[in-house]
């Protein structure tokens, strides 16, 4: 592929890409526009959203109510709930559509993504407002999610334009061409925590690679997913190429994963479901076309190490922000702070006060830093972890939000100290506003503790020692390591996102080799020598 | 620049000549106060300069690299580094405790210089820290004002054209008065800030002290102006003229903000002071806006800031009865320009003032004071760890290629060049 005689350069630069800027909410016009969008959407809440299979809208007998986590009494939308028959129909529709979509030129498919990006950009605050209501995302977090969705469209479009050009390796008398084909039907199973970005990322990656998609959004964010379906349709994605199949995961998930007519599953969610999908997909049915490909982004138990010489101003803010942003409901969230003995007391004092100062409230309010958690199930699960913390550890912060609890699924930020590194609180993913603080004697122990879980997703270290930072680079077992900064908020291309160990299978979302997972590489060699005569190789033709 | 030749002073000189050494140097100075043992100091010093060793002269390499942390040389190195960083800090920071500060401002007064005090604090990330910041200012005002009010009068700095002005003058940052200060939530932020600001203003009025609201990052500018306008329009403070705010000339928006302030002040009916500065967050603003993909809020060329500074100086001078000018700069051209406009408009020397930073351009400050100007020295004080961010900003300024002061000490730069009109300077650079 490349000229092997050239020395390997010390630095390889990423291709140029401009991320969609986040909204500057210090500007009055932006705050006003956002508030207007919130008011507009408030008037539209409660609508109905049918399935979309093969371009047809289908109402179902059973429905799911998507509710506002900040206000339990408010229904954001009534969403159709697919049965296994609908799942079969969707698979059939996607298979039919693949017969033509697979031959659409890569550049044209890329253009579809760019049109989607433009449409998302046009409807930016409207979509963010839907997220505020449906998922309890505070303003800036919702805005960031929309920007990321735009980035995924633009970045994967750019990537596919490059991958769509075959790599030639021609010799006199033989032309060799290396190119990519799509896999077929891809099932996308998405989470609710980045309701537009992650769903869009997995979906458009599959689409732009020439696959057709069955989009199964999380029950808690199916309305936003319906908006994405609308946008795709408006962008000219043909019927059947993208199908919208909301429903109960336990009911339709296995049908989708086990079907012999599905070729690939792209999943983001919990470790348990990810592993179950991986196992089911490994079963081979004699009718299926090949071995299924599974990519799964799973959980994390992410730690930030605070070294003795850390800038505590920065470290405290980064830990608090990473632990409690979106109520800790991010796979990248900081759930453990591992603090060197020398600065343990100073750090804990400031983290305690900073956490207690956070504003907990409904996501609609711009003052809110910590909104609600997603639903009753999450509420109960997180409360169980808090009970363990209170039982086994020193309670440092236990924010009481009982006056909000009537309204929505509110859990105040909690901080526990003296957490046993082997305890459930220090080992299992909480996915809520709970931070475990662990003391370490030295950096060796800190790194050992940080690596001592079954996950390897994100991690961070605050230190001003170049040597210690270097140790973290080499020894910290995570997919995304952040030095002297917060550990959430990965940006497409700048911070390709994904972990290993039990945090994920597959390469990084928003990274330069993500699309390859949706593609099958093919090499075509043609003998061009006939009767002793061969046309000149390609580069000489030009 | 420094009187004694300690190791860091020497490194500082090399830092002026080499950007990569400068970065390591400032990073080392920044972390130093957090290091509790001499081993840690030596180790950090070696780690930082390891990365730029080829940029250092051999003498520096020898000094920095050879000592083992636990030997006498290692200890000496650590001692030398600490000592010289403390001296650097002492140059720009007037002390850690109120008694030390009092000594420093008394010394300034003996030199005929007025002061404004600024408490260097840690980032305020919690409500108790915001309480502590408020309390520190209350203590400062109630502790210092009675004392300095007892000093014998010095008309040049104690009076303006309208009469007596407060001797005790403090500068504070609104974002430090509320831990959840967030531009996304202007109403909540304003409530939080005003609740802690009002008692400070009351104490200041009671003790004849002046309160200036400092300006910070661009993201906080509109909110800071908004809160300033809200609180000083309240009945309790509407008729009080011993207050001021800052306008940063490196922002193209400075002009509109000043016009808006003028209209607001006319409506208020009581004048305010406006400290015109170039702006201290230039590096931060350019880096952050590029990172975020936002338009850069500051002029990217130094001469444009200088030029805007002159235009806004003129505006202030033309409205000096409403917006009283405090011209804050070390650039002699900028100050000469202000003096010319004051003369042109027949504004008495007491009708405006010059402000400079503690530890910088001391000879100039002295000179202007001797010529009859009221020169106020912006005097930061506080603990060394939180003071580091301030110190690094000052060091950046002093080592910047665009710094007037740096050029002033450079014998190869002529007086004509130094005092050239900003736009002409730009032309000569382009040619």
Q: What residues does each domain of chain A span? A: 34-298+503-522, 302-483
What is the spatial distance between Cα A243 and Cα A203, in angstroms, rounded to a whole number? 10
B95 beta partners: none
Spell out the CATH class of A34-298+503-522: alpha beta
Go through B343-378 and write b for each residue having 16 or more CB atoms within 10 A of its CB, e for each that does not. eeeebebbbbbbbbbbbbbbebbeebbeeebbbbbb
Order of strands across the sheet that contains A63-68: A47-49, A71-80, A63-68
**Can A540 be counted among the known catalytic residues?**
no
Q: Shortest Cα distance from A530 to chain B (angstroms)?
A: 56
- CB pair distance less than 8 Å for A350 and B126: yes
Q: Tell me if A112 sits within 8 A of A236, measured CB to CB.
A: yes
- CB pair distance less than 8 Å for B186 and A31: yes
Q: What is the 3-state secondary structure (H, E, C) of B222-248?
A: HHHHHHHHHHCCCCCCCCCCCEEEEEE
Strands A434-440 and A414-417, bridge-based pairing? parallel
Q: Tell me if B329 sits within 8 A of B357, measured CB to CB.
A: no
Sign of the CA dihedral B268, B273, B275, B281?
Answer: negative
Task: Compute φ and ψ for B228, nearest 5 degrees.
Answer: -55, -50
Given this model, what pLDDT does residue A535 score?
Answer: 82
Give Cα A176 distance to the centre of its chain: 37
Interface residue of A354, A369, A370, A491 to substitute, partner B, most B CBs within 10 Å = A354
What is the spatial distance between Cα B56 and Cα B58, in angstroms, rounded to a whole number? 6
What is the spatial distance between Cα A442 and Cα A460, in angstroms, rounded to a whole number? 16
Task: Compute φ and ψ for B182, nearest 5 degrees.
Answer: -140, 120
Structure tokens at A2: 């490349």
What is the spatial distance between Cα B89 and Cα B379, in angstroms, rounded to a whole number? 12
Q: Shortest Cα distance from A437 to chain B (angstroms)?
A: 18
Interface residue of B184, B218, B253, B383 to substitute, partner A, most A CBs within 10 Å = B184
A230, A186, A190: which is closest to A209 by C-alpha? Answer: A186
A265, A8, A25: which is closest to A142 by C-alpha? Answer: A25
B143 near A CB under 8 A: no
A467 near B CB under 8 A: yes
Given this model, what pLDDT does residue B89 score?
Answer: 83
Given this model, what pLDDT does residue B431 score?
Answer: 47
- The CATH number that domain B94-408 falls under is 3.20.20.220
Chain B residues with CB under 8 Å of A466 CB are 47-48, 50-51
Pick B125's closest partner by Cβ from A18, A316, A465: A316
What is the spatial distance between Cα B316 and Cα B341, in angstroms, rounded to a whole number? 10
B150 near A CB under 8 A: no
Q: Shortest Cα distance from A536 to chain B (angstroms)?
A: 47
Domain boundaries, chain B: 7-90, 94-408
A22 near B CB under 8 A: yes
What global pTM score does this model have? 0.94
A440 beta partners: A340
Pick A21's closest partner by Cβ from B221, B292, B386: B292
- CB pair distance less than 8 Å for B293 and A313: no
Q: Shortest Cα distance from B33 to chain A (angstroms)?
A: 9
Q: Shortest Cα distance from B123 to chain A (angstroms)?
A: 6
Chain B residues with CB under 8 Å of A353 CB are 125-129
B48 near A CB under 8 A: yes
pLDDT in tens, B172-203: 999 999 999 999 999 999 999 999 999 999 99
Strands B114-119 and B375-381, bridge-based pairing? parallel
Among the options A134, A219, A297, A477, which is catalytic? Answer: A297
B43 near A CB under 8 A: yes
Q: Chain B residue closest to A365 (CA)?
A: B185
Chain B residues with CB under 8 Å of A24 CB are 219, 292, 294
Could you say which residues of chain B have pLDDT below 70? Answer: 1-12, 58-60, 62-63, 66, 69-70, 401, 408-411, 427-431
Q: Tell me if B189 sits within 8 A of B182, measured CB to CB.
A: yes
Query: Which run of H or of E encompasses A158?
Result: helix A139-163
- A279 Cβ contact list (under 8 Å, min separation 6): none
> Considering chain B, what is the average pLDDT of its residues?
89
Chain B residues with CB under 8 Å of A469 CB are none
B229 near A CB under 8 A: no
Structure tokens at B261: 């302030």
What is the spatial distance between Cα B206 and Cα A453, in angstroms, rounded to a whole number? 60
Sign of the CA dihedral A315, A320, A326, A331?
Answer: positive
Given this model, what pLDDT does residue B1 score?
Answer: 35
Q: Chain B residue closest to A466 (CA)?
A: B47
Q: Chain A residue closest to B179 (CA)?
A: A357
What is the spatial distance between Cα A242 and Cα A113, in angstroms, rounded to a whole number? 13
Q: Tell me if A194 sits within 8 A of A148, measured CB to CB.
A: yes
B129 near A CB under 8 A: yes
B354 beta partners: B327, B375
Given this model, what pLDDT does residue A537 score?
Answer: 65
From chain B residues 12-31, the ones with a CB under 8 A of any chain A CB are 27, 30-31
**Can A331 be counted among the known catalytic residues?**
yes
Q: Tell me if B185 sits within 8 A of B195, measured CB to CB.
A: no
A466 near B CB under 8 A: yes
Q: What is the pLDDT along chain A (542 residues), one digit of tens a residue?
A: 444 566 666 788 888 999 999 999 999 999 999 999 999 999 999 999 999 999 999 999 999 999 999 999 999 999 999 999 999 999 999 999 999 999 999 999 999 999 999 999 999 999 999 999 999 999 999 999 999 999 999 999 999 999 999 999 999 999 999 999 999 999 999 999 999 999 999 999 999 999 999 999 999 999 999 999 999 999 999 999 999 999 999 999 999 999 999 999 999 999 999 999 999 999 999 999 899 999 999 999 999 999 999 999 999 999 999 999 999 999 999 999 999 999 999 999 999 999 999 999 999 999 999 999 999 999 999 999 999 999 999 999 999 999 998 999 999 999 999 999 999 999 999 999 999 999 999 999 999 999 999 999 999 999 999 999 999 999 999 999 999 999 999 999 999 999 999 999 988 999 999 999 999 999 999 999 988 888 876 655 44
What is the spatial distance between Cα A243 and Cα A214, in angstroms, rounded to a whole number? 5
Pick B126's closest partner by Cβ from A139, A354, A464: A354
Distances (CA, A) of B413 to B17, B104, B400, B408: 16, 33, 15, 7
From chain A residues 49-78, the ones with a CB under 8 A of any chain B CB are none
Q: Shortest Cα distance from B15 to chain A (angstroms)?
A: 19
Q: Shortest Cα distance from A344 to chain B (angstroms)?
A: 13
- CB pair distance less than 8 Å for A367 and B180: yes
- CB pair distance less than 8 Å for B293 and A358: no
Among the options A135, A153, A186, A331, which is catalytic? Answer: A331
B144 near A CB under 8 A: no
Q: Shortest Cα distance from A313 to chain B (angstroms)?
A: 6
- CB pair distance less than 8 Å for A312 and B44: no
Residue B356: strand, helix, or coil: strand
Strands B163-164 and B159-160, bridge-based pairing? antiparallel
Q: Tell me if A228 sits within 8 A of A203, measured CB to CB.
A: yes
Structure tokens at B145: 């004002």
Fold category of A302-483 in CATH: Aldehyde Dehydrogenase; Chain A, domain 2 (3.40.309)
What is the spatial distance between Cα A436 and Cα A395, in angstroms, rounded to a whole number? 10
Q: How many CB pairs under 8 A join A and B?
A: 96
Cβ-in-10-Å burial (0-12, 13-18, 19+) of B283 comes to middle
Order of strands across the sheet that contains A414-417: A394-398, A414-417, A434-440, A334-340, A302-306, A458-462, A480-483
From chain B residues 297-356, the ones with a CB under 8 A of any chain A CB are none
Query: Which run of H or of E encompasses B170?
Result: strand B168-172
């Amino acid at each position: 592929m490349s000229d092997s005689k050239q020395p390997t350069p010390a630095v390889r630069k990423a291709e140029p890409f401009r991320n969609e800027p986040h909204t500057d909410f210090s500007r009055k016009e932006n705050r006003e526009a956002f508030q207007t969008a919130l008011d507009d959407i408030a008037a539209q809440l409660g609508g109905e959203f049918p399935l979309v299979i093969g371009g047809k809208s289908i109402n179902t007998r059973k429905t799911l109510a998507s509710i506002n986590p900040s206000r339990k009494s408010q229904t954001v939308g009534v969403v159709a709930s697919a049965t296994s028959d609908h799942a079969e129909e969707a698979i059939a529709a996607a298979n039919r559509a693949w017969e033509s979509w697979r031959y659409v030129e890569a550049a044209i498919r890329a253009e579809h993504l760019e049109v989607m990006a433009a449409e998302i950009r046009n409807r930016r605050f409207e979509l963010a407002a839907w997220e505020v209501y449906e998922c309890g995302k505070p303003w800036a977090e919702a805005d960031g999610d929309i920007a990321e969705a735009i980035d995924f469209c633009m970045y994967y479009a750019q990537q596919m334009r490059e991958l769509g050009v075959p790599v030639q390796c021609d010799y006199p008398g033989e032309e060799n061409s290396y190119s990519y084909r799509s896999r077929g039907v891809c099932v996308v199973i998405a989470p609710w925590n980045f309701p537009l970005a992650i769903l869009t990322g997995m979906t458009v990656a599959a689409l732009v690679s020439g696959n057709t998609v069955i989009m199964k959004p999380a029950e808690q964010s199916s309305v936003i997913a319906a908006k994405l379906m609308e946008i795709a349709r408006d962008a000219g994605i043909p019927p059947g190429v993208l199908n919208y199949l909301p429903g109960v995961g336990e009911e339709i998930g296995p049908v989708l994963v086990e079907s012999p007519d599905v070729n690939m599953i792209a999943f983001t969610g919990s470790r348990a479901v990810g592993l179950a999908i991986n196992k089911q997909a490994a079963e081979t049915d004699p009718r299926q076309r090949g071995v299924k490909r599974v990519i799964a982004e799973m959980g994390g138990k992410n730690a930030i190490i605070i070294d003795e010489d850390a800038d505590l101003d920065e470290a405290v803010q980064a830990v608090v922000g990473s632990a409690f942003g979106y109520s800790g409901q991010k796979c990248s969230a900081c759930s453990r702070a591992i603090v060197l003995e020398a600065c343990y007391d100073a750090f804990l004092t400031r983290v305690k006060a900073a956490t207690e100062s956070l504003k907990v409230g409904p996501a609609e309010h711009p003052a809110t830093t910590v909104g609600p958690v997603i639903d009753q199930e999450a509420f109960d699960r997180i409360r169980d972890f808090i009970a363990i913390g209170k039982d086994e550890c020193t309670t440092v912060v236990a924010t009481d939000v009982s006056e909000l609890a009537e309204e929505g699924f509110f859990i105040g930020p909690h901080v526990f100290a003296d957490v046993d590194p082997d305890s459930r609180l220090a080992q299992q993913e909480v996915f809520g506003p709970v931070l475990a603080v662990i003391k370490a004697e030295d950096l060796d122990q800190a790194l050992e503790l940080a690596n001592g879980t079954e996950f390897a997703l994100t991690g961070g270290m605050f230190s001003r020692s170049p040597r210690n930072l270097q140790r973290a680079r080499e020894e910290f077992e995570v997919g995304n390591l952040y030095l002297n900064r917060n550990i959430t908020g990965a940006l497409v291309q700048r911070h390709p996102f994904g972990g290993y160990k039990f945090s994920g299978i597959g390469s990084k979302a928003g990274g330069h080799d993500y699309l390859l997972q949706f593609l099958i590489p093919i090499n075509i060699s043609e003998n061009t020598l006939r009767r002793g005569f061969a046309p000149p190789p390609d580069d000489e033709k030009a | 620049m420094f009187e004694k030749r300690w190791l860091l002073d020497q490194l500082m000189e090399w830092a002026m000549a080499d950007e990569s050494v400068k970065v390591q140097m400032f990073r080392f100075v920044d972390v130093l106060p957090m290091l509790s043992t001499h081993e840690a100091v030596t180790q950090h010093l070696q780690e930082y300069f390891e990365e730029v060793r080829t940029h250092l002269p051999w003498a520096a390499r020898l000094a920095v690299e050879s000592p083992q942390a636990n030997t006498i040389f290692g200890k000496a190195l650590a001692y030398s580094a600490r000592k010289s960083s403390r001296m650097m800090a002492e140059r720009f920071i007037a002390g850690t405790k109120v008694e030390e500060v009092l000594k420093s401002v008394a010394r300034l007064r003996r030199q005929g210089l007025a002061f404004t005090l600024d408490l260097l604090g840690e980032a305020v990330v919690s409500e108790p820290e915001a309480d502590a910041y408020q309390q520190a200012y209350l203590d400062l005002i109630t502790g210092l004002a009675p004392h300095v009010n007892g000093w014998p009068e010095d008309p040049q700095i104690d009076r303006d054209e309208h009469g007596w002005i407060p001797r005790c003058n403090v500068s504070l940052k609104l974002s430090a008065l509320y831990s959840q200060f967030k531009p996304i939530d202007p109403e909540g932020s304003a409530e939080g800030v005003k609740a802690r600001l009002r008692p400070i203003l009351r104490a200041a009025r009671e003790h004849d002290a002046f309160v200036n609201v400092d300006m910070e990052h661009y993201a906080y500018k509109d909110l800071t102006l908004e809160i300033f306008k809200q609180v000083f329009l309240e009945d309790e403070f509407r008729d009080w003229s011993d207050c001021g705010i800052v306008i940063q000339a490196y922002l193209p928006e400075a002009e509109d903000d000043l016009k808006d302030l003028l209209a607001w002040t006319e409506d208020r009916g009581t004048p305010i002071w406006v400290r015109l500065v170039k702006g201290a967050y230039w590096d931060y603003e350019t880096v952050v806006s590029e990172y975020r993909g936002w338009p850069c809020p500051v002029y990217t060329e130094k001469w444009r800031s200088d030029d805007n500074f002159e235009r806004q100086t003129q505006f202030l001078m033309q409205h000096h009865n409403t917006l009283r000018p405090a011209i804050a700069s070390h650039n002699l051209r900028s100050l000469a320009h202000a003096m010319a406009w004051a003369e042109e408009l027949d504004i008495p020397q007491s009708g405006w003032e010059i402000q400079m930073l503690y530890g910088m351009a001391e000879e100039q400050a002295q000179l202007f004071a001797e010529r009859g100007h009221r020169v106020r020295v912006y005097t930061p004080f506080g603990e060394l760890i939180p003071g580091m961010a301030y110190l690094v900003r000052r060091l950046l300024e002093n080592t910047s290629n665009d710094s007037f002061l740096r050029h002033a000490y450079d014998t190869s730069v002529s007086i004509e060049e130094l005092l050239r009109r900003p736009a002409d300077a730009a032309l000569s650079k382009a040619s």
